[in-house]
Amino acid sequence: MKKILVSNKVYYVGVNDRKKSLFENNWPLPNGVSYNSYVIADEKCALIDTLEFGSKDDYLEEIGEILQGRQLDYLIVNHMEPDHSSMIGWIQKMYPNVKIVANSKAFKMLQSYYGIGQDHIHEVKDGDTLDLGYHKLNFVMTPWVHWPETMITYDTTDSILFSCDAFGSFGTLDGGIFDDEINFGFYEDEMRRYYSNIVGKYSHMVQKAFAKLESFKINFICPSHGPVWRKDPQKAISLYDKWSKHESDEGVVIAFASMYGNTEKMADYLARLISEQGVKNIRIYDVSKTHVSFILNDIWKYKSVVLGSSAYNAGMHPMMQHLCNELEVLNPKDKNYALFGSFSWSGGGVKTLVPFSEKMSWKMVAPPVEIMGSPKIEEMSGFEEIAKNII
Ligand code: FEO
């Protein structure tokens, strides 16, 4: 591979994963994902994070080409999730004297995952520094962005934030590595899907991390997934700030679960009424067809959400239950919402959606609409109030 220089003595050594179908064996990867890692070849040499095991040979070869026979002095572990840590053992084999730079919350994980004891670890605490020669590194503890041991490494010399999961994105880097080399329109959606599905639950901790980084000058953001930011790092910061504050765009997501098409008819009818109110961003999703990660992404993006479910065993449809479970865990806030459903005998969809929705910090805009059997227009008048108030 051609060497990719980020800044003076700092190299990108990431790989693209186009084989994996599901990130964390859960989240679809239709556009793949990149694992980014960085080498600082200074008077002392450091590797920042590794990658998920699978591209071992190319990765080790690239590091070797940059180091040109020199020793690797430090391996900085910002985060222990195996998509960034599972090459640690191989790095140790290649460079037996390497010191693992980590904070104390990572110690037990290093031991249990990779059998690494404290004699191999260089412990860092919040605000500690590490002098590589030209580059001086500063460590900032940012717990829960994404795991408890997560930290960010900041290079004070060239103002580089090695942010690991923060500012990361799904999607492989197809030639373009830097923000000025790509069409960001594609990555914005995948970056938000990564945020909403992986990091969003910890939005309040993202805000705490922002408070700590407020006074830092940032010329580069080098995340561990997705594009590297060198032209406009402020754009990535603004997006993360917006998403972690639960700020959203005008628009409505209507997610429905329908067994025989009656609940779907209601979704279409409501969407038309909302459109007549002048709303342009309306997305209808069949929860049995579209993976929950894409629906969550749009719910994070837009201000309003309408959930509709047929009755199923006197409760809501299982696929709607799955969406509700994820919503409860990931907890997008400050939404306008409404509910609807259909049933054949004694109801259940709306009856179980109501207690779910009361657990969310959302605002109901109009009473739920529930209809027996096939919906008739005269039975759907309740949708008019929803359509008027949902934005
Ligand atoms: Fe990309 Fe939390 O790992």
Q: How confident is the prediction along the chain (391 residues), in pLDDT tens digits per residue?
A: 789 999 999 999 999 999 999 999 999 999 999 999 999 999 999 999 999 987 778 899 999 999 999 999 999 999 999 999 999 999 999 999 999 999 999 999 999 999 999 999 999 999 999 999 999 999 999 999 999 999 999 999 999 999 999 999 999 999 999 999 999 999 999 999 999 999 999 999 999 999 999 999 999 999 999 999 999 999 999 999 999 999 999 999 999 999 999 999 999 999 999 999 999 999 999 999 999 999 999 999 999 999 999 999 999 999 999 999 999 999 999 999 999 999 999 888 999 999 999 999 999 999 999 999 999 999 999 999 999 999 8
Span from the CA of 350 to the centroid of ligand 1 (angstroms): 36
Span from the CA of 314 to the centroid of ligand 1 (angstroms): 38
In this structure, the number of other CB atoms found within 10 A of the CB of residue 112 comes to 10
The closest-lying atom of ligand 1 relative to the alpha carbon of residue 198 is: 2
Span from the CA of 81 to the centroid of ligand 1 (angstroms): 5
The closest-lying atom of ligand 1 relative to the alpha carbon of residue 224 is: 1
Identify whether residues 191 and 234 lie together within a single domain.
yes
- This prediction's pTM: 0.95
Residue with CA nearest ligand 1 atom 3: 81
Residues touching ligand 1 (Cβ under 6 Å) are: 79, 81, 83-84, 146, 165, 224-225
Number of domains in the chain: 2
Span from the CA of 340 to the centroid of ligand 1 (angstroms): 36
Domain of 363 in residue numbering reads as 249-389
Residue with CA nearest ligand 1 atom 1: 165
Identify whether residues 265 and 154 lie together within a single domain.
no
Identify whether residues 98 and 135 lie together within a single domain.
yes
Task: Write the CATH number for 273.
Answer: 3.40.50.360
Identify whether residues 283 and 357 lie together within a single domain.
yes
Among the candidates 244, 272, 298, a domain finishes at: 244
The 8 Å CB, 24+ separation contacts for 128-135 are: 129/156, 130/46, 130/74, 130/101, 131/44, 132/40, 132/42, 132/43, 132/44, 132/45, 132/46, 132/73, 132/74, 133/42, 133/43, 133/44, 134/8, 134/9, 134/42, 134/43, 135/9, 135/10, 135/40, 135/42
Task: Write the CATH number for 185.
Answer: 3.60.15.10
